[in-house]
Amino acid sequence: MAEATLGQELSKGLLKENPLFVLLLGTCPSLAVTTSLVNGLGMGLAATFVLVLSNAAISLLRDFIPKGVRIPAFIVVIASFVTIVDLLMEAYLFSLHQALGLFIPLIVVNCIILGRAEAFASRNGVLRSMLDGLGMGLGFMLALGMMGAIREVLGNGTLLTGTPLEWTVFGQAFRANSVLVFVLPPGAFLTLALLLAGINKWKTRRA
C-alpha cells in the first residue's frame, strides 16, 4: 500500500477518520462539555495542542523508550503537555477554564491522544506525527463545535453572545425558543445520535 501523503495525514482526521463521528473516541468530554459552542471549541483546542506536541515528543523519543514501559512513558509525556495547557488556560482563559473544570486534566487519559501515540506517533517520523495530531485534533474540535453550537442554539436560544437569536420573516420578528433538554445530559446523547445518523446517511449516499 502506498504511503499516505502529508496532506492525507492532515485531512484524514477531519472526516474519514474523525475521532468522534467515525471512531467514536472521546465521547465522555464530548457529551459533558458541549453545552455551548465556546466550551466545545475550547476543549477541542486544548486537545489539539496536546495531540500535536505529545505526538511530536513521542515520535522523537520512540527509539529510546523501552517497549515494556511505553504506555506509562506515553502517559508521562501527555500529562506534561496537559499540565502546560491547564496552567495556560487558567492564566489567560479563566472563565473557560472554570467551565471545562475537571475535563482539562482528564485529557491525560483521553483515548484519542493515547491511541494516536500508540498507533501512529510511536511508529512514524516527527512531521507526519505532528500532522496526524493536528488533523485528529481539528477533527475533534470540529465535532465538539458542531455539538456545542446545536445544543446552545436549541437549548438556550443563543449562540456565542448570550443574546437570544432573532430573525425577521416578512417584517415579523421571531425569537429562538429554548428546549431545556438539549443542555442536559439526554440532549447530548440525542445531539450526537442525530449527527451520527446524518453523517452515516451522507456517507451511504456518497458510496
Read off the pLDDT of each residue in 169-186 and give the average, rounded to a whole number.
73
Give the sign of the dihedral formed by CA 103, CA 108, CA 111, CA 116. Answer: positive
Cell of residue 50, nine digits: 496536546
Give the sign of the dihedral formed by CA 64, CA 56, CA 142, CA 82. Answer: positive
Distance CA 111, CA 98 (A): 23
Task: Quick: pLDDT tens for 133-157.
Answer: 999 999 999 999 999 999 998 888 8
Domain ranges (residues) in the chain: 6-206
The one-letter amino acid code at 202 reads W
Which residues in 49-70 are b (16+ Cβ under 10 Å) and which e?
A: bbbbbbbbbbbeebeebeeeeb
Task: Quick: pLDDT tens for 22-52.
Answer: 888 989 889 999 999 999 999 999 999 999 9
The mean pLDDT of the chain is: 89
